[in-house]
């Protein structure tokens, strides 16, 4: 039976009479504003994009964003939500109506179940003490032979072991997950019973000398399917197959959990954020800066990271992220700290603090290595990178490839970046750009031009990859393209010179690689 009215906060949305009632009686709303509110109420608890709302409310006519913004403003005024506590604007994503929504007739029932809801709220509070948590359920054996349970059990247990290497995850122990073996489960129930944010489940099917392993990641709060894949392999060596699949799944899974965690923290009101949430927000804003090069995003990211540290001064991860933010100020044209030694010193200081706070954190070791690289301390950087990979052999990040590239290990850098881009489907512009730089330094210019052109198209205000695209065209002998790229760069950065700008950023261990970069810039016609 269709719902006739919906209750949210202290308001009732009457779907039959198309009106809104509050504590003081009926509240007047224009028809389109009512429809916008109705859509948000009916989709409460999730972010509705502007395009989605506009398509639902103005399905038969084309309107601009201004129409939606006006309706949102009217709705907020009508319900007294000037502080945006009920209808929240989620930057770059849309709008969220935050709070419980119930059919009007269910209100009495909700009071009767108050004790159960209180217990559930307590469980929710326990669910995210600082790191996302995940339960890996026993993979189902679909082979029809119980004697082959060893394979499905082994895959499940090995995934738990591999995920446990990632310090940003809390992984439920095997004996707790094993109770669900052979049972049809509701992932949301598993989430409630084990107090986890995510559930991974899958299956193993063997047929003669072939095996198929499937896996899927589910949000334990909403039941939403976040990721899934399957892996078909020859079963020449069962343990080699098991290792290969597990080492593929683990970092992929972490990448998807990271993305889901960023989205989750965007939905949380500020009062509930703890150090971890400020860290994730800061990290996400820094990624935004890397693409947009909007300095305001960089400094807002830094503010959030500093807030994370003020809440927990012993939390290593925001120190690492702060190090990268100061490195970004030093290395990227547009910020007041561009090429100032004090910015690089701050980056080094924060990176060193992170390693001191948590020497077992691979993320901190890699960040430390990355900052050392830009300070031309390549041997020390490679040592830190080696420690990181011993701590977590599955650690994958574009910074790893950049460290290797500047240290002169170009082929290994290309392989590392390609592997990272396969494992993280949300790879940032930095990954594409530095892969292009590695190809350019190798002399593989057509590949360099392809990746660098994509990086520049993605992030046209990021001068770093503009430098390298100009150098690539210069070495290719494409005079017209080189000249056009040089002009584009100089419009973006009129103060650019090869000696004053490019040379300090050519931090290669081998001077021949730096010289190759600078010669390409000269050939493109950029000023010395």
Q: Would you say residue 207 lies in a domain?
A: yes
Do the Cβ atoms of 244 and 280 come closer than 8 Å?
no
Q: Would you say residue 201 lies in a domain?
A: yes
**What average pLDDT does the structure give for the chain?**
82
Same-domain status, 274 and 389: yes
Same-domain status, 214 and 234: yes
Per the structure, the count of domains in the chain is 4
Q: Would you say residue 247 lies in a domain?
A: yes
Q: Would you say residue 400 lies in a domain?
A: no
Same-domain status, 139 and 212: yes
- The 10s digit of each residue's pLDDT in 500-518 is 999 999 999 999 999 999 9
User: What would the two tokens of residue 186 be?
Assistant: 């509701």
Contacts 24+ apart (CB under 8 A), 289-293: 289/328, 290/328, 290/428, 290/429, 290/430, 290/459, 290/462, 291/428, 291/429, 291/458, 291/459, 291/462, 292/459, 292/461, 293/332, 293/334, 293/459, 293/461, 293/462, 293/463
d(Cα 390, Cα 360) in Å, to the nearest integer? Answer: 10
Q: What per-residue confidence (pLDDT) applies to 215?
A: 84
| Mean pLDDT of all residues in 148-154 | 72
Q: Would you say residue 365 lies in a domain?
A: yes
Confidence of residue 167 (pLDDT cuts 50, 70, 90): low
Q: What per-residue confidence (pLDDT) applies to 237?
A: 61
pLDDT at residue 16 tops 90: no
Q: What is the CATH number of the domain that holds 305?
A: 1.25.40.10
Tell which of 251, 280, 299 closes a domain. 251
User: What would the two tokens of residue 214 be?
Assistant: 């499937």
Tell which of 251, 286, 319 closes a domain. 251
- The 10s digit of each residue's pLDDT in 94-120 is 888 876 676 644 333 333 333 333 333
pLDDT at residue 144 tops 80: no
Q: What per-residue confidence (pLDDT) applies to 94?
A: 80
Q: Would you say residue 114 lies in a domain?
A: no
pLDDT at residue 3 tops 70: no
Same-domain status, 433 and 505: yes
Among the listed ranges 104-108, 183-187, 285-289, which one has the minimum average pLDDT value? Answer: 104-108
Q: What per-residue confidence (pLDDT) applies to 96?
A: 84
CA dihedral (315, 321, 323, 327) in degrees, to 10, reads 180
d(Cα 186, Cα 364) in Å, to the nearest integer? Answer: 37
Q: Would you say residue 175 lies in a domain?
A: yes
Report which of residues 336 and 120 the model is more confident about: 336
| Mean pLDDT of all residues in 25-37 | 84
Q: What per-residue confidence (pLDDT) applies to 444?
A: 95
Same-domain status, 391 and 277: yes
The whole domain housing 231 covers 133-251
Same-domain status, 67 and 152: no
Same-domain status, 195 and 236: yes
Same-domain status, 311 and 347: yes
Tell which of 373, 395, 417 closes a domain. 395
Same-domain status, 230 and 311: no
Q: What is the CATH number of the domain that holds 57?
A: 1.10.10.10
Confidence of residue 319 (pLDDT cuts 50, 70, 90): very high
Same-domain status, 309 and 374: yes
pTM, whole model, 2 decimals? 0.58
- The 10s digit of each residue's pLDDT in 387-398 is 998 887 778 889
Same-domain status, 275 and 387: yes
- The 10s digit of each residue's pLDDT in 456-472 is 998 999 999 999 999 99
Confidence of residue 421 (pLDDT cuts 50, 70, 90): confident
Q: What per-residue confidence (pLDDT) applies to 5?
A: 77
The total number of residues shown for the chain amounts to: 528
Confidence of residue 340 (pLDDT cuts 50, 70, 90): very high
% pLDDT > 70, the chain:
83
- The 10s digit of each residue's pLDDT in 256-269 is 776 666 655 554 44
User: What would the two tokens of residue 340 be?
Assistant: 């100032």
Same-domain status, 469 and 442: yes
Q: What is the CATH number of the domain that holds 138?
A: 3.40.50.10610
Query: What is the distance, to the nearest Å, from the Cα of residue 4 to the centroid of all Cα atoms in its chain?
Result: 40
Q: Would you say residue 112 lies in a domain?
A: no
Q: What per-residue confidence (pLDDT) applies to 273?
A: 45
Judging by DSSP bridges, how do beta strands 170-171 and 210-219 pair with one another? unpaired
């Amino acid at each position: 039976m269709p719902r006739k009215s919906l209750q949210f906060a202290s308001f009732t949305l009457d779907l039959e009479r198309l009106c809104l009632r509050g504590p003081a009686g009926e509240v007047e709303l224009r028809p389109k504003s009512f429809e916008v509110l109705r859509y948000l109420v009916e989709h409460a608890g999730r972010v509705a994009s502007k395009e989605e709302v506009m398509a639902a409310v103005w399905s038969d006519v084309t309107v601009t964003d201004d129409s939606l913004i006006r309706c949102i403003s009217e709705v907020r005024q009508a319900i007294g939500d000037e502080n945006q506590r009920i209808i929240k604007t989620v930057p770059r994503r849309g709008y969220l109506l935050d709070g419980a929504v119930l059919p009007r007739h269910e209100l009495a029932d909700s009071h009767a179940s108050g004790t159960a809801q209180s217990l559930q709220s307590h469980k929710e509070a326990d669910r995210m003490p600082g790191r996302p948590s995940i339960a890996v359920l026993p993979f189902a054996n679909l082979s029809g032979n119980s004697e082959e349970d060893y394979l499905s059990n082994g895959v499940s247990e090995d995934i738990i072991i591999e995920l446990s290497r990632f310090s940003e995850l809390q992984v439920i122990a095997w004996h707790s997950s094993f109770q669900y073996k052979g049972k049809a489960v509701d992932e949301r129930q598993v989430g409630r019973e084990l107090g986890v944010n995510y559930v991974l489940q899958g299956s193993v099917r063997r047929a003669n000398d072939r095996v198929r392993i499937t896996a899927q990641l589910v949000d334990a709060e909403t039941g939403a399917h976040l990721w899934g894949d399957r892996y078909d392999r020859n079963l020449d060596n069962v343990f080699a197959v098991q290792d290969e699949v597990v080492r593929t799944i683990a970092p992929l899974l972490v990448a998807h959990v990271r993305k889901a965690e960023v989205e989750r923290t965007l939905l949380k009101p500020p009062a509930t954020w703890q150090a971890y949430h400020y860290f994730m927000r800061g990290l996400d804003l820094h990624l935004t800066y890397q693409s947009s090069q909007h300095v305001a995003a960089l400094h807002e990211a830094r503010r959030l990271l500093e807030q994370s540290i003020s809440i927990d001064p012993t939390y290593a991860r925001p120190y690492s992220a702060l190090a990268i933010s100061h490195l970004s100020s030093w290395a990227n044209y547009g910020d007041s700290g561009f090429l100032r030694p004090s910015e690089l010193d701050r980056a080094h200081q924060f990176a060193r603090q992170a390693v001191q706070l948590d020497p077992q954190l691979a993320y901190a070791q890699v960040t430390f290595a990355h900052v050392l690289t830009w300070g031309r301390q390549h041997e020390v950087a490679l040592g830190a990178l080696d420690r990181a990979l011993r701590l977590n052999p599955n650690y994958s990040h574009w910074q790893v490839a950049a460290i290797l590239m500047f240290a002169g290990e170009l082929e290994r850098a290309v392989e590392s970046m390609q592997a990272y881009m396969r494992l993280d489907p949300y790879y940032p512009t930095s990954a594409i750009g530095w892969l292009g730089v590695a190809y350019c330094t190798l002399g593989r210019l057509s590949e360099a031009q392809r990746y660098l052109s994509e990086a520049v198209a993605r992030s046209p205000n990021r001068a770093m990859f503009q430098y390298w695209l100009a150098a690539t065209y210069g070495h290719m002998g494409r005079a017209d393209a080189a000249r056009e790229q040089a002009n584009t760069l100089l419009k973006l950065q009129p103060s650019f010179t090869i000696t004053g700008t490019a040379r300090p950023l050519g931090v290669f261990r081998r001077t021949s690689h730096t010289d190759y970069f600078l010669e390409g810039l000269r050939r493109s016609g950029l000023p010395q």
